Amino acid sequence: MKKLITPYASDFGKPNVIIKHFPDTESYVQIPGINSFKNQKITIYHRLYPEPDKRIFELLLLLSKVKEQTKNIELLVSYLPYARQDRENKVGEAVSANVLCGLLKNFGVKKLITYDCHFLPTPGNFIRAGLKIENRSAGRMLYAYAKKYFKKEKFVVVSPDEGASYFTKHAEGLSHSLKKTRKSATEIHKMEGHAEVKGKNVCILDDIIATGGTIMHATKHLKELGAKKIIVGTTHGVFAGENIADKISRSGCAKIFTTNSILQTNSVHVIELSDKY
């Protein structure tokens, strides 16, 4: 198996793909020594966030050359962007999750390996728009960090919505899933649901923190239910907006932790996924 590592995934090894930008910002991709990859199994390591449009196009340029050499292409991107628009809610809405998966399939990807993909209900193997996907979960690693954080103290694991409820399965003690209703893609209407958290420490686990609205509403709700210390862990720390991590801390979260699926500039604790690859 050969590895192709882009400069955006240099924490997985020495990059052997050249990506540059022309003065007008257009991308240039070169794979030196590509002829030695003939008929080999190739795993591509890349990141598609931030600047997803640009990173996706660079990936397509890369794939356009790799697929000339082999049909055996595996792609590892730990955070899959464009996954949240996964259905046509309003007439005429483009379903970006299908478009991206279809593109990858048509550009020769035999299997995509990703983590806690938003449109998939659980970890496991799936097919979307013809693309095979191995969906791994960082849930166990996030839970292990929470255990270390609380040392010998007990804590309750809470998922802020049904979609993330599979994160609670690692809990050795109590766990709950709250019920979230949205006003829009970026605004929460209501966070409800009973959770036995009175006087207890809580760890909220979710697949993504984007605007932080979900976590802040969940924190408020859990505080109202009497929670003691609240910490929050997420696989993908998107933190879309200014000072989102600070706002979450100010809302009452004692600790925010995430994986390196997205490289962080925020002051949050980062857990490496790399050793699992």
Alpha helices by DSSP H, the chain: 52-66, 96-106, 139-150, 213-224, 244-250
**Residue 108 or 212 having the CB closest to ligand R5P:** 212
Q: Tokens 């993908």 sit at which residue?
A: 236
Residues in binding contact with ligand R5P, number by CB under 6 A: 13
80 binds ligand R5P (CB under 6 A): no
Contact (CB, 8 A) for 277 and 134: no
117 binds ligand R5P (CB under 6 A): no
261 binds ligand R5P (CB under 6 A): no
Q: Which of 41, 71, 179, 180 is catalytic?
A: 180
Contact (CB, 8 A) for 156 and 202: yes
Please identify, among the stretches 9-17, 71-79, 101-109, 157-165, the one whose residues bind ligand R5P according to the rule CB under 6 A: 157-165
85 binds ligand R5P (CB under 6 A): no
Contact (CB, 8 A) for 143 and 170: yes
225 binds ligand R5P (CB under 6 A): no
Residues near 188 by beta carbon (within 8 Å), at least 6 away in sequence:
180, 181, 182, 213, 214, 217
Cα end-to-end distance, the chain, whole Å: 13
192: helix, strand or coil: strand
- What the block records as the tokens of 248 is 């979450």
Choice from 135, 214, 258, 259 touching ligand R5P (CB under 6 A): 214
Distance (Å, whole) CA 45 – CA 74:
9
202 binds ligand R5P (CB under 6 A): no
206 binds ligand R5P (CB under 6 A): yes
Distance (Å, whole) CA 19 – CA 244:
30
Contact (CB, 8 A) for 228 and 200: yes
211 binds ligand R5P (CB under 6 A): yes
Choice from 4, 19, 81, 207 touching ligand R5P (CB under 6 A): 207
**Residue 27 or 264 having the CB closest to ligand R5P:** 264
Please identify, among the stretches 24-32, 71-79, 156-164, 169-177, the one whose residues bind ligand R5P according to the rule CB under 6 A: 156-164
Please identify, among the stretches 33-41, 136-144, 169-177, 210-218, the one whose residues bind ligand R5P according to the rule CB under 6 A: 210-218
Choice from 81, 108, 139, 160 touching ligand R5P (CB under 6 A): 160
**Residue 81 or 108 having the CB closest to ligand R5P:** 81
213 binds ligand R5P (CB under 6 A): yes
Helices 52-66, 96-106: crossing angle, 10 deg rounding: 20
164 binds ligand R5P (CB under 6 A): yes
Residue 118 beta carbon to ligand R5P: minimum distance, rounded to whole angstroms: 6
Distance (Å, whole) CA 59 – CA 53:
10
Q: Is 14 a catalytic residue?
A: no
**Residue 212 or 233 having the CB closest to ligand R5P:** 212
Q: Per-residue DSSP letters for 138-161? A: -HHHHHHHHHHHHTTS-EEEEESS
Is residue 7 reached through a cis peptide bond, with omega within 30 degrees of 0 on the bond before it? no
Active site residues: 180
Catalog residues that contact ligand R5P under the rule CB under 6 A: 160-161, 163-164, 206-214
